[in-house]
Every structure is written in structure tokens, then in C-alpha cells.
Homo-oligomer: A and B are copies of this chain.
Amino acid sequence: MTDNLLRIIPLGGLGEVGKNMMAYEYGKNILLVDAGLMFPDNDMLGIDYIIPDFRYLQDKTDWVRGIVITHGHEDHTGALPHLVEQINAPVYATTLTRGLIESKLSRNGLLSKVQLKTIKAGDTAQIGPFQVEFFHVCHSIPDGVGLGITTPAGLVIHTGDYKFDHTPVDGWPTDYAKLAELASRNVLALLADSTNADRPGWTPSERVIDGALRDVFRASKGRIIIASFASLISRMQQVGNAAIDHGRKLAFVGMSMVENAKTARKLGYLEFPDDLVIPLDQALKLPANQVVIMGTGTQGEPTSIMGRLSTGTNRQFDILPEDTVILSSHPIPGNEESVYRTINRLFRRGANVIYENIAPVHVSGHASQEEMKLMLHLVRPKYFIPIHGELRHLRQHGEIARQVGIPEDHIRVIENGQVVEFKDGRMQLGERIPGGYVFVDGAGVGEIGPSVVREREALARDGFVLVTLTMDQDTGRLVDEPEIITRGFIYTRNGDDMLDEMRHMVRSAVERGETHPHDLEQAIKSFLFNKTKRRPMVFVATSQT
């Protein structure tokens, strides 16, 4: 261990979207920034979500001086319940972020175990050898912060998720002055959000949504049903404002949406007159043109309110012909298919559906290319490490840094698990540590590995065939016909020629003395492949009578 060696250890968020988590290590001191989850790809079958692999911390749990959460989105907070079960260190968050974390930890029965510390933009906290200055950033949730981290090895800026919105809904722009002030102290390294690195120009201000909402509200004769993310607090404010202007009441549906709205209102992040928000059952009794209903389900999740409305399986109410549905969101990559399917189904039920392609009812919460250039120019870092994004975004962000004049060898595009070290003011690559996925499925963490997912893939492709044989102990002959069960294979029924043929084949094999289950399984596999060009899993259970 050297005295001025700073190690930056990416545990999540580099080379992927989601499960953000970064460790800053100096001596025997670790500062953790964020602990997020990510949602599985379509081919990670049956997986609920994915958390960072933080095995690296296992034998260093007492090095961790603190955990800073930059803002209240799942991809920055979702792994916290898993993390705090192993690590006992104070968690620093702003008021709103803390409120959202508290709900999450309560649901997991962990709230009493965790020491939460409220910070606000402008504060400085000494966390071990790390002096952390919090500065405000705009994002699609209020009260987000970036970090200026002064270490004995130099000053590092970690932006968190940000955009430069000059007219944010909460009136609180990103803190340019603080960024400039930090820059004046010589920034060793900038770690900045890369999500939109392939989008040219500037991300539009959240304000543009006001106009689009106004147009839709003006044209709607029936109910207005709006789907958004439960964490998009400022979108709730905008919808509330539009509701007031058009004489409508607002009802929230869905646990997370209701809970977050309540938290945000209690903490002063939503300004609603007392009579604006009403319970859903009351809203359903009002004339259709006096109602706005806001819930989740923007990603086409079948069990969400929008998913259920689209399939006519919602308990409390159904789509009516004059309803207008607004999807105030953008499909997360991989969800396009289910999002568009939900939209089509809502149309089929008679709703008029307004989505991003039709009107600007959503904007991104992340900086686009010109904002990235502004950040780089404001901060003027010696070194640059793009974070938060797939590899293609990190590469593109690196390219942008090169364009604004950062020397190529001062830019490092790395992925999770690749440690970067700063020593004597110089950057070098360090060791590689585990940086993979930990699958969470049902009640279990890490019980599902790639081999189980591969089995699920095989089952999903061709299903399985189960053959049960009962043989006479003495003669070795079959006592009964072989019993065949198939699931997910092809449509079969008793009396099927193919099943008959298969029974015959199995019987002949047994009569020839080929009774070992493994051999029979191979024979059945060949038979089925020849007949159907499919490769189901095959199991033979034999027993002797």
C-alpha cells in the first residue's frame, strides 16, 4: 500500500445500463457511491433483477467508511437492501432520496439496521479520508447530487446522473458555479454519465412537456390516464399543474406511485393544493372530463396498471372509448416490444394513446453530447473516465472527450471490474476483480447461475419429454405401455401417430435389452429429432416390478 494511491473500483454501471456502484479506495478506506439494480435482458429467463457483484468488499467490510446515494432511482438504490445486510456503514442521501430509501428499507424490514444521514447540495461531509462536497444536478428526479471528492491523491468529480436543464420543473438548475469552483482547484479526474453519448445536441428541458400536456388536456373529452415512472416526481407536478388548469382532479394508482407521491409531498417536493389529489374510487365516480389518473406501467409490464388495462384485466376500472392514455416515458432498451404491444392493445380497447413518437410527452433525464462537452469544459479534468452506460456509450463519450481536447492517453474507457489507480497524479490500470452479474430471482440471491439460465433456454426452445417405464423384475419386460408426458414440446395428444411410434420404438429397445435410462434417452432424442427437427430435453424414469 502506498501513501498516495487512490483506487477507483467500478462494481457496476460501466459497460451496461443500470446497477450503478463505484468504490473509491484510499489506504484501508472505502467510499461507496450508489448501489443500484438492473433489470434482466429478455434472454435472462425468469430472473427478477440483477445486482452488482460486490464480493470484492467481502473481506474489507470494515474498510467501508460510508455509502453515498446520488439520487433515488432504482438503478442507484435497488441493491441497497442487499448491501446493508453485509456492510455496516452510514448511508448519506439528500432529503428526497433518503425518503425513498426509507420506504424501500422498511419494506425489507431493514430500516432500523441502517444509519441514514441527510445531506443537501452545498454540504461537505468528511467520510474517512474522503472530503465529499455535494453539488446539485438536474435529473429526472429532484434532489440529485454530484460529488466533488477530495482525496489525498487529488480531487475527483463524480457527476451521478445529470443533465443541464435551464428551466427544470423544480426551478433548480445544475450548479454550474460549484462545478467551476471545483475546476479552479485542479480536477484530477472526471467520472461522468454517458447514457446519451450517442444523442447529438442538447436534451430538451422538462418544460417542453408542459406544452404537450396542455394540448392533450385541451383535446381530451373523456378521462386522462397517464403512465410514468413512480420516481418521476417532477412529472407528477406537471400533471398536477395541468389538472388544475383544466379543472380535473388527480388520482394516483399503484403502490409505488402512491407511496412516492406521498413521500415527495410530505417532504415538500410536490406542491399540490389540498383538494387536487383524491382517492381512485372517488375519481371513478366523477364525470370523465374531470379526472386524471396517474400510474406506472410505462414498460408494458403485464402486471402493471397499464398492462392490465391493455388486456382488460384491471380490477377497479376498464378502458372506456373516450379515454386518452398518455405514456410519459421512453422504452428501456429491450422493452420496446412489450411497450408497443401494450400501446396496440390500448388502441384496440378504444383508447386514444399518446406516446413519445406522437407528441413530446417525455424527455430524457440525461445529458446529450453538447451537454457532455459543456461538462468537460467546465470541469477541465486532467483525466476522464466515462461511467454509466453500455460500452458503446462509454466509447462515444470517450470520443467526445477527445474532440474537446483531452489527450487520448488521459481517457480510459473501462468496464466493471477493471480497477483504475491514481498515484503521483498519474492514472494507470490496476487489477481486474469480479464485475459480473448477480441474479436475483424469487426469494434467492445468487442461486441462479448461467447454467440454470441455459437450462431454461433449452426448455424454452423445445420443452421436454418424460417417459416412464415399468418393467418386470424377472423378465425385464415392460409391464405397462410406456407413459409419455410432454411440456412445451409440440402439441401432442394420445392417439397421435408420433407418440404411438415412439412407444413402439421404446418397447422394441427394451425388448432388445436396452434398458439403461441414458441409452434410452439418447435413442428417444434421435427419434424425436428425426421426426420433428427439435431437441427437447428427454428423461426416462424406469422402475422394476
| A residues with CB within 8 A of B | 15, 41-43, 45-46, 198-199, 333-334, 336-337, 340-341, 343-344, 347-348, 353, 355, 357-358, 390-392, 395-396, 415, 441-444, 447-449, 451-453, 455-464, 466, 468, 470, 473, 485, 487-491, 531-534, 537, 539, 541, 543-545
Find out whether the CB atom of B459 lies under 8 angstroms from the CB atom of A42.
Answer: no
Find out whether the CB atom of B41 lies under 8 angstroms from the CB atom of A347.
Answer: no
A457–B456 alpha-carbon span in the complex (Å): 9
A494–B441 alpha-carbon span in the complex (Å): 21
A353–B355 alpha-carbon span in the complex (Å): 31
Q: Can you report 22 A-B residue pairs in the complex whose CB atoms are below 8 A from each other?
A: A41-B337, A45-B461, A46-B462, A46-B488, A347-B391, A441-B534, A442-B534, A443-B532, A443-B533, A444-B532, A447-B532, A448-B491, A456-B459, A456-B460, A456-B463, A456-B488, A459-B464, A464-B487, A468-B541, A485-B539, A541-B541, A541-B543
A487–B15 alpha-carbon span in the complex (Å): 30
User: Which B residues touch A392, using CB under 8 A?
Assistant: 340, 343-344, 347, 353, 355
Q: List the B residue with the shortest CB-CB distance to A454.
A: B488
A490–B448 alpha-carbon span in the complex (Å): 5
The 7 closest A-B pairs by CB, nearest first: A543-B543, A460-B460, A442-B533, A459-B459, A334-B337, A198-B357, A456-B488
A448–B488 alpha-carbon span in the complex (Å): 9
Find out whether the CB atom of A333 lies under 8 angstroms from the CB atom of B337.
Answer: yes
A344–B473 alpha-carbon span in the complex (Å): 58
Find out whether the CB atom of A333 lies under 8 angstroms from the CB atom of B340.
Answer: yes
User: Which B residues touch A531, using CB under 8 A?
Assistant: 443
A336–B543 alpha-carbon span in the complex (Å): 49
User: Which B residues touch A545, using CB under 8 A?
Assistant: 473, 543-545
Find out whether the CB atom of B448 lies under 8 angstroms from the CB atom of A455.
Answer: no
A443–B15 alpha-carbon span in the complex (Å): 39
> Contacts A491-B447, A533-B443, A539-B485 given: A463-B457 contact, CB under 8 Å?
no
A333–B343 alpha-carbon span in the complex (Å): 14
Find out whether the CB atom of B42 lies under 8 angstroms from the CB atom of A348.
Answer: no
Q: List the B residue with the shortest CB-CB distance to A446.
A: B491
Q: How far is the CB of A379 from chain B (nearest CB, A)?
A: 25
User: Which B residues touch A43, using CB under 8 A?
Assistant: 42
> Contacts A459-B463, A460-B459 given: A452-B336 contact, CB under 8 Å?
no
Find out whether the CB atom of B541 lies under 8 angstroms from the CB atom of A45.
Answer: no
- CB-contact partner of A532 in B340, B442, B468, B541, under 8 A: B442
Q: List the B residue with the shortest CB-CB distance to A200.
A: B357
User: Which B residues touch A41, using CB under 8 A?
Assistant: 337, 341
> Contacts A46-B460, A459-B459 given: A466-B541 contact, CB under 8 Å?
yes
User: Which B residues touch A340, using CB under 8 A?
Assistant: 333, 390, 392
Q: How far is the CB of A422 from chain B (nearest CB, A)?
A: 24
> Contacts A198-B357, A459-B459, A545-B473 given: A487-B333 contact, CB under 8 Å?
no
Find out whether the CB atom of B543 lies under 8 angstroms from the CB atom of A468.
Answer: yes
A200–B292 alpha-carbon span in the complex (Å): 28
Which of A348, A456, A534 counts the most B-chain CB atoms under 10 A from its CB? A456
A488–B531 alpha-carbon span in the complex (Å): 25
User: Which B residues touch A347, using CB under 8 A?
Assistant: 391-392, 395
A485–B455 alpha-carbon span in the complex (Å): 12
Which of A45, A395, A443, A541 counts the most B-chain CB atoms under 10 A from its CB? A541
- CB-contact partner of A539 in B42, B46, B460, B466, under 8 A: B466
Which of A43, A447, A464, A468 counts the most B-chain CB atoms under 10 A from its CB? A464
A379–B185 alpha-carbon span in the complex (Å): 67
User: Which B residues touch A468, using CB under 8 A?
Assistant: 541, 543
Q: How far is the CB of A172 from chain B (nearest CB, A)?
A: 30
Q: How far is the CB of A496 from chain B (nearest CB, A)?
A: 10
A533–B48 alpha-carbon span in the complex (Å): 12
User: Which B residues touch A473, using CB under 8 A?
Assistant: 545
A43–B396 alpha-carbon span in the complex (Å): 32
Find out whether the CB atom of A490 lies under 8 angstroms from the CB atom of B532.
Answer: no
User: Which B residues touch A544, using CB under 8 A?
Assistant: 470, 543, 545
- CB-contact partner of A543 in B444, B448, B459, B470, under 8 A: B470
